[in-house]
Structure 1
Amino acid sequence: MVVTNHTTTIKNKSINYKATTGTQPVWNEKGEPIAALYYTFYERTNTNNTNERPLIISFNGGPGSASVWMHIAYTGPKVLNLDSEGYPIQPYGVSDNPNSILDIADIVYVNPVNTGYSRMIPDSKGELPKRDTFFGINADIKYLAEWINTFVSRKGRWESPKYIIGESYGGTRVMGLANELQNRQWMYLNGVILVSPADYKLYNTNQPVYSALNLPYFTAAAWHHNMLSPELQQKDLLNILPEAEDFAINNLMPALAKGGFISENEKGQIAKKMAYYSGLSEQSILQNNLDVPTHFYWKDLLRNKTGQTIGRLDSRYLGIDKRETGISPDYSPELMSWNHAFTPAINYYLREHLNFKTDIKYQMFGDVHPWDRRNDNTREGLRQAMAQNPFLKVLIQSGYYDGATTYFGAKYTMWQIDPSGKMKDRFTFKGYRSGHMMYLRSEDLITANDDLRAFMKNALTNGKAAKYLKK
């Protein structure tokens, strides 16, 4: 464990903080260490009443992704060198983040097993633990909840208001952790924050509901690349998305549900309107039977204009394929751009700024597959946690140009968590004019962090009793 002290300026105020980085064990039922999780913990030091300060526990996704993206690009005291639209620039490195939430909350970034510097620990015979101890939806939630309990106890933060934030697959993770922490660790949260959340109740289902939910994202991407009709293109993005959402729910979804038995007339009308909202040709849409895969969209949108592909996680990015023909891009241009900038930046930052030096390789993406996705009850787990805890609130943040975990899919997840609708006033959705990592864009970095501040403040109890009131 290494401790360093720093000073920065956030929201025009001088902030002194301590950074603690190192590992903390995961134990089995016998009390034997089976893994060491690498973490970085930031605590503000020039403040009083530490126990009253919110504690944020931060995860990225994958599964198999290190806790690097939000660490050095979103909420932490340093951010990757980027231009104003979020594109990485050289020289690689980091600079101060004047928008970090460290002014109002302490933050720990956690790297699950086989990500970052986190590794399994062999037993006395030199054998590693069974992989299914860690690599699956429920296994992941179980051991991370135990780890969080230990961390909170070691740092003396049981009195602090607590929030968990997860990006992408981390959204699935923190939905499950909310329930696991509450019902197995007896740790009650104030807030759960889902950043570009992945919901596996939707993905890979091959159901019309999922396909229809992609259309508003198509509209956003087409608008950005000037591929919509002049009638739509001249409007602001936020003025046309509600139209696309309404069509997706009330027209496209029922049409897709009819499958091959839809009438030719209705099929043609739907294809025409899809083309209007997506930037694709009616022919391409009909050739896909109205069910347009996202990977085809990334390949086809600009096929007959520039021949370029668009990014999966951030469709503002452009790529060049070997051939313009085909049904999916050769690679994800945004991920390649991010990897070649984030990797040297995090290695440099941890070694030179936080003084954590090791010969262990920092795993941006670790070996966690096969990943057990069975018995995914995370959405229901979050509902149960909210029902049992009147204080628990949820914030969802999504980028309009995210083609992997689309913003409208995130809205749909929010709608489905509580079918009763009795807790809908405890959900907040925020959208941004960027992609999966909306915070890479300068304007959204400011807005998204301010949205976190407002959410955390709103989720504080301020001395109120935890109870439901009679209506």
Structure 2
Amino acid sequence: MKFLMFGAAAAAVLAAGVPALAQDKKPDAPVEVREPQVRTTRMSGTFGGQKMNYTATIGETILKAEDGTPKAAVVTTAYVREPRDPNRPVTFLFNGGPGSGSVWLQMGAFGPTRVVIPSDARDDGAPPYPVVQNPDSILDVTDLVFIDPPGTGFSHILGKTEPKEFYGVTADAKAVAEVIRRWLNDNGRWSSPKYLGGESYGTTRTAAVVNQLEASTYNDVGLNGLLLISTVLDFAAGADTPGNELSYITNLPSMAATALYHGKTQGPPTAQFVEEARQFAIGPYAAALLKGQKLPPEERASIRRQLARFTGLSETYLEQADLRVTPGRFYKELLRDRGLTVGRLDARYTGKDYDNAGEEPDNDPSFYGIDAGYTAAVNQWQRGALGFKTDREYQSIGGLGAQWDWRIGGRDANAYLNVTPYIGKAMRENSGLRVFVAQGWYDFATPFFAAEYALTRTGIPQDRVEYHYYDAGHMMYVRDQDRVKLSRDIRDFIRRR
């Protein structure tokens, strides 16, 4: 029946001639108009010892389909020194997750204001959480643009857009790259030195975005530097999966630093003790793990003794764990005799579980110890001082991981994620691109030895990668001394371009 009806209709059109096509065509549905919200406030402050005027602009960038249909509203918060200089450095920053808003770097480290929480690994308690001027902001050496990708902060998908169009390593990177290009266009900043950086999954995003800016699509945005804060690039290096021996190797130096911090082992100062742990991990320990069940008894006993020295755990426990202690077990076991657990994001923090008999902690004390203060601060700042109007909740650490497309470069879902080659390619093709790596000794979410492992593989120009270490964990800037040091280190990195 459908074929017959189609044939009759076609005959009628042919008989009427070509003009009938135009007469019968229905008009296109009108494209939804979505006006972006933009709020600009003039402010002043003293940063890096320099008193200055600046504008704070929080606004939406509307990403559209080819037919003009709005697909996502991406909120950026830009701090630009006045009077404006088209040749001044500009730094684009975001956090990780995936699903985390830029609140952490913006309200904790680099923005012109920050939230005050305890510096000594105690929890942030109950409100109020003061928001104060941040003299450690790097606004004295670079303008700052904080980006909340779709699904983070106040940014969100519009209309009937499918989440898969933005929720994935490459899809997310394309969206962020478009926002950066749009900002450069709108602000006349193509001649500015440009820096790109993130924290945690934000470092993964940094590698994927630099691939979009320098190696894919238009290849038109040259960068001066990448800021990798609490780095995760090669996901196999930290995958706590049975049969993956690499994770035990890359986590061991972090365990050594933590055991030393809590007095569960004795040794030289942290940096020296960590170096001993590195050499043991990459040498005798790695060799023992690779031998598996063929490891000779004498060698096993030697490895067990050294492992006990570095981890602060008993040889009995290490033997029961077959010389392989996952981070989750370590958090629970290290201070079990004190009835305490240690944090994942920052192992300086301790918590108390429902009871002391469990295999792993109930929760991460280094996250619940700071999350309320940061969430309160970003809402107070962006809704209040900056005047952004929305009835949406700020997504500070939303969980998008289950919806995330982790595949890159046409690889299937069984291939592990490693974006380090993106950085290597960008560096080889841009002789002016340098990489700044910031790592905390007490970070198990993105262990420092895993970052070192990833960035010392083939294809990475080693003379343009620099490492900086801090006496805290994942968000090293929560410790006052480390916020000052991080600010100073990045300030020097930008000035040396």
Q: TM-score, normalised by structure 2?
A: 0.87
Match of 1:21 in 2: 58
- Superposed displacement of residue 143, structure 1: 1.9
Match of 2:232 in 1: 198
> For residues 100 and 224 of structure 1, what CA distance do their matches in structure 2 show?
29
Match of 1:436 in 2: 474
**Paired amino acid for 2:92:** I
**Paired amino acid for 1:330:** D
Match of 2:332 in 1: 299
Match of 1:383 in 2: 424
Q: 1:30 to 1:259 in 2, by over 3 A?
A: farther
**Paired amino acid for 2:193:** P
| CA shift digits 1:309-338 (9 cap, x unpaired) | 000000111111112122210001111121
Q: How many residues align?
A: 444
Match of 2:102 in 1: 67
Match of 1:80 in 2: 115
**Paired amino acid for 1:334:** S
| CA shift digits 1:216-263 (9 cap, x unpaired) | 10011111111103xx1xx32122111111101111111111122212
Q: 1:51 to 1:201 in 2, by over 3 A?
A: farther
Is 2:42–2:55's contact at 8 Å kept on the other side of the alignment?
yes
> For residues 427 and 367 of structure 1, what CA distance do their matches in structure 2 show?
31
Match of 2:486 in 1: 448
- Superposed displacement of residue 32, structure 1: 2.4
- Superposed displacement of residue 352, structure 1: 1.9
Counterpart selection for 1:373 from 392, 401, 406:
406
SS in 2 for 1:163: strand
Within 5 A, what are the aligned runs for 1:15-54? 15-46=52-83, 50-54=85-89
Verify: 1:287 aligned to 2:287, yes or no. Answer: no
- Superposed displacement of residue 211, structure 1: 1.2
Counterpart selection for 1:96 from 112, 133, 141:
133
Within 5 A, what are the aligned runs for 1:226-305? 226-229=263-266, 232=267, 235-304=268-337
Match of 2:387 in 1: 355
Match of 2:372 in 1: 340
Is 1:93–1:344's contact at 8 Å kept on the other side of the alignment?
no
> For residues 395 and 279 of structure 2, what CA distance do their matches in structure 1 show?
42
| CA shift digits 1:341-400 (9 cap, x unpaired) | 111111111122212232211111235232111234521111111111001110110000
**Paired amino acid for 1:328:** E
SS in 2 for 1:276: helix
Match of 2:146 in 1: 109
Match of 2:187 in 1: 155
- Superposed displacement of residue 102, structure 1: 0.3
SS in 1 for 2:108: coil
- Superposed displacement of residue 13, structure 1: 2.0
Match of 1:165 in 2: 197
Is 2:73–2:150's contact at 8 Å kept on the other side of the alignment?
yes
- Superposed displacement of residue 112, structure 1: 1.0
> For residues 224 and 347 of structure 1, what CA distance do their matches in structure 2 show?
35
| CA shift digits 1:143-190 (9 cap, x unpaired) | 221221112111211111111111000111101111210122311100
Match of 1:400 in 2: 441
SS in 2 for 1:429: strand
Q: 1:409 to 1:37 in 2, by over 3 A?
A: same
Single out whichever of 432-441 and 4-13 deviates more from structure 2. Answer: 4-13
Counterpart selection for 2:357 from 325, 329, 347:
325
**Paired amino acid for 1:262:** L
Match of 1:4 in 2: 41
SS in 1 for 2:289: helix
Within 5 A, what are the aligned runs for 1:402-421? 402-416=443-457, 419-420=458-459
Is 1:93–1:349's contact at 8 Å kept on the other side of the alignment?
no
SS in 2 for 1:182: helix
- Superposed displacement of residue 86, structure 1: 5.8
- Superposed displacement of residue 420, structure 1: 4.8
Verify: 1:135 aligned to 2:135, yes or no. Answer: no
| CA shift digits 1:117-150 (9 cap, x unpaired) | 101110xxxxx21221111111111222122111
Within 5 A, what are the aligned runs for 1:210-229? 210-229=247-266
> For residues 15 and 217 of structure 1, what CA distance do their matches in structure 2 show?
40
SS in 1 for 2:247: helix
SS in 1 for 2:237: coil
Percent sequence identity is 36
**Paired amino acid for 1:238:** A
> For residues 248 and 312 of structure 1, what CA distance do their matches in structure 2 show?
20
- Superposed displacement of residue 447, structure 1: 0.7
Match of 1:425 in 2: 463
Match of 1:468 in 2: none
Q: TM-score, normalised by structure 1?
A: 0.91
- Superposed displacement of residue 205, structure 1: 6.5
> For residues 435 and 216 of structure 1, what CA distance do their matches in structure 2 show?
13
Any gaps of 5 or more consecutive residues in structure 2? 1-37, 409-416
- Superposed displacement of residue 298, structure 1: 0.3
Is 2:256–2:277's contact at 8 Å kept on the other side of the alignment?
yes
Is 2:421–2:459's contact at 8 Å kept on the other side of the alignment?
no
Q: 1:435 to 1:270 in 2, by over 3 A?
A: same
Within 5 A, what are the aligned runs for 1:455-466? 455-458=493-496, 460=497
Is 1:298–1:328's contact at 8 Å kept on the other side of the alignment?
yes
- Superposed displacement of residue 24, structure 1: 0.5
SS in 2 for 1:341: helix
> For residues 164 and 392 of structure 1, what CA distance do their matches in structure 2 show?
11
Any gaps of 5 or more consecutive residues in structure 1? 123-127, 461-471
Q: 1:249 to 1:366 in 2, by over 3 A?
A: same
Q: 1:367 to 1:312 in 2, by over 3 A?
A: closer
SS in 1 for 2:456: helix
| CA shift digits 1:80-103 (9 cap, x unpaired) | 112343653652131111111001
Q: 1:317 to 1:402 in 2, by over 3 A?
A: same
